[in-house]
Structure 1
């Protein structure tokens, strides 16, 4: 009898796990891309129907070999060198500032100094940055900026600029 109860309990647990792994039906207004169709272009993936009665869950397309990055983690850009006009290194990404609505408000670029001494943070518009891929590496380009422009720009203290950083 113990064996039967144990087997029944195990079967119940396993069927529950199998059910949890099945895909939920699409909510009204949301569809998954059909097999073999092209994935959305960078920036076009929105929360499937967003919060307009649909699910807040987002499905992003898988990366395509040799294609420009459609998505990347903000952490991937941390300490990434930024190349300006004439393909010279002009600084490195210190952080990314997000607005309350989720858009990128600015990229914090660290410029100047030597071995961490005398550096300053400068806010740069995200639209001034181009993301490129070289092999498996991300390369950040700012073709309208030079090192001199960043060195002459006013630096910011992020601790006084952002909420909860003091």
Structure 2
């Protein structure tokens, strides 16, 4: 997956994206750190990091958007977001984006977001 992300980053850099836009996106996303402790509680949902791993994220209409790859914390150590691969087919052409926790609602064993497809596509891309 990291190899695919690196390849996507290289391709994106070669497509003429503005440096200012690229720097803003990279600095915002790089502020997140993956939570390594699976037993750590995500108080927003009263679940552990391990519980969130691989949970489906669906749109308000029930369409599958992606699944949780990583749980992310900010520089203060607060769990504030999850990353998920969206788009693509069978792992090809997908993009790893960051969903702030306030954009997700827990319903049963999946997350629901009211974000539209366009809003999901506009989410910050995760850069390792």
| Pairing 1:149–2:124 present | no
Judge conservation of contact 1:90–1:146 (CA < 8 Å) in 2.
no
Distance in structure 2 (CA, Å) of the matches to 1:79 and 1:113: 17
Distance in structure 2 (CA, Å) of the matches to 1:154 and 1:98: 15
Query: Could you list the runs of 4 or more consecutive aligned residues of structure 1 that deviate by over 4 angstroms after TM superposition?
Result: none
Which has the larger Rg? 1
1:9 match:
none
Higher relative contact order (CA 8 A, sep 6+): 2
1:130 match:
105
Q: What SS does the aligned partner of 1:116 have?
A: coil
Quickly say closer, same or farther: Cα 1:94–1:113, change in 2 above 3 A.
Answer: same
Distance in structure 2 (CA, Å) of the matches to 1:70 and 1:81: 14
Deviations 1:60-95 (A, max 9, x none): 9xxxxxxxx962111222221101121221121111
Give 2:57's match in structure 1, choosing from 63, 69, 82: 82
Q: Whose strand fraction is larger, Structure 1's or Structure 2's?
A: 2
Q: Whose helix fraction is larger, Structure 1's or Structure 2's?
A: 2
Quickly say closer, same or farther: Cα 1:86–1:97, change in 2 above 3 A.
Answer: same
What is the TM-score normalised by the length of structure 1?
Answer: 0.45
Deviation at 1:154, TM superposition (A): 4.6
Judge conservation of contact 2:57–2:66 (CA < 8 Å) in 1.
yes
Quickly say closer, same or farther: Cα 1:155–1:70, change in 2 above 3 A.
Answer: closer
Deviations 1:92-136 (A, max 9, x none): 111111123332232212101111111111112111111122xxx
2:110 match:
139
Judge conservation of contact 1:91–1:147 (CA < 8 Å) in 2.
no
Distance in structure 1 (CA, Å) of the matches to 2:92 and 2:84: 15
Unaligned runs of 5+ in 2: 1-40
| Pairing 1:97–2:67 present | no
